[in-house]
Amino acid sequence: MNRLFLLATLALAAGAAHAEVPEVRIARQFSMGYLQFNVIEHEHLIQKHAAALGIPEVKVSSFRFNGPAAMNDALLSDTVDIVGGSPHGMFTLWAKTRGTKQEVRAIAALVTLPFMITSNDPAILTIADLGKCKKIPVPSLRVSSPAIAVQMAAAKLYGIKEYARFDTAMVTMSPADATVALLGGVGEVNCNVALPPFLQQQLERPNIHVVANSFDLMGGPNTYTVSYTSAKFHDRDPKLAQAVYNALTEATARVNQDIRAAAKYWIEDSDSKLTVDFVAAAGSGKDVHWTTVPERTMQAADFMFEVGTIKVKPTSWKDYFFPEAYGLSGS
């Protein structure tokens, strides 16, 4: 009888141990601002760094979303753990959850790169012409970096009180579908906020031109994407959180060392028809910097606070990053 009891106890313990294998569920969007996630998944970097910190097994899975609104909902509902998106999408959650157990903060920046407002209409040449845009596709309204860029363009031209002047022209659409619509020249999509590598696809066509550059609208080079999570995930297992940060750091170095390998991973994970040469070139332009250091994120947060999109004004970039990043010279 004692032997049977012992066997049952061991079986229950084994089952519990198996159930306690930690999981990291990663969410990202369709553009290539998340190459570190592709590297992390293909090269098993979270598992590697978790093992180094004494966590022998980690399950890693990934999901793709069209825009930050859906990803943010998934993060708040505990459907995903780590999100890759624009700082702007992260700010909305940080301001909403600040001071709670579910508080959302960034783990690390991913890349600084420019994106462009483009058009196929020869009459739309500068931001002064954006009123002629019939439809401007963006991944999510109000909270995506493309949507904020259009608002910044309006504010730069007409003043901060007119930041929403072009909002009625913006429609939700994936970057790939927006590119198809703009290149096809059918329907009302005659403008787009183009993200790599779809930007490079568009500019191959002689009838597509740049109307505005995000670096100009935002006052210089600025962080395009960040990784972020909730305090609930971060604090539940500090060693696992550190492993995620270490994996992002190594993945960033890997992208810088071998952009072609990262491009191959992105093509495979995105089911893309683009060539490795094309994606690698898009990810290694002169203004593209794969870095965990946040750049000019405070300017974006200040703008969103000033126009009322977020209700809390940060005093420092460290307000919305987790402590693992505090040693960086961010802004």
Tens of pLDDT along 68-104?
788 889 999 999 999 999 999 999 999 999 999 999 9
User: Distances in Å between the alpha carbon of 181 and those of 48, 59, 135, 178, 253?
Assistant: 42, 38, 10, 5, 36
Spatial CA neighbour of 129 closest among 119, 141, 144: 119
At residue 10, does pLDDT exceed 80? no
Which residues share a beta bridge with 27?
A: 63, 83
At residue 327, does pLDDT exceed 60? yes
Q: What percent of the chain shows pLDDT beyond 70? A: 94
pLDDT grade for 180, boundaries at 50, 70 and 90: very high
pTM score of the predicted model: 0.88
At residue 1, does pLDDT exceed 50? no
Q: What average pLDDT does range 257-268 have in this prediction? A: 97
At residue 245, does pLDDT exceed 80? yes
Pick the residue with more confidence: 82 or 18?
82
Highest average pLDDT, of 175-184, 236-245, 268-277, comes from: 236-245
- Average pLDDT of the residues of the chain: 91
- In degrees, rounded to 5, the angle at the alpha carbon of residue 326 between the alpha carbons of residues 227 and 291 is 45
Which domains are delineated in the chain? 20-112+223-325 (3.40.190.10), 116-217 (3.40.190.10)
User: What pLDDT does residue 25 have?
Assistant: 97
At residue 15, does pLDDT exceed 80? no
Spatial separation of the C-alpha atoms in residues 60 and 267, rounded to whole Å: 19
User: What pLDDT does residue 278 have?
Assistant: 93
Tens of pLDDT along 122-137?
999 999 999 999 999 9
Q: What percent of the chain shows pLDDT beyond 90? A: 82
User: What pLDDT does residue 43 have?
Assistant: 98
Q: For 315, list phi and psi in degrees, rounded to 5.
A: -95, -15
User: What pLDDT does residue 19 have?
Assistant: 52
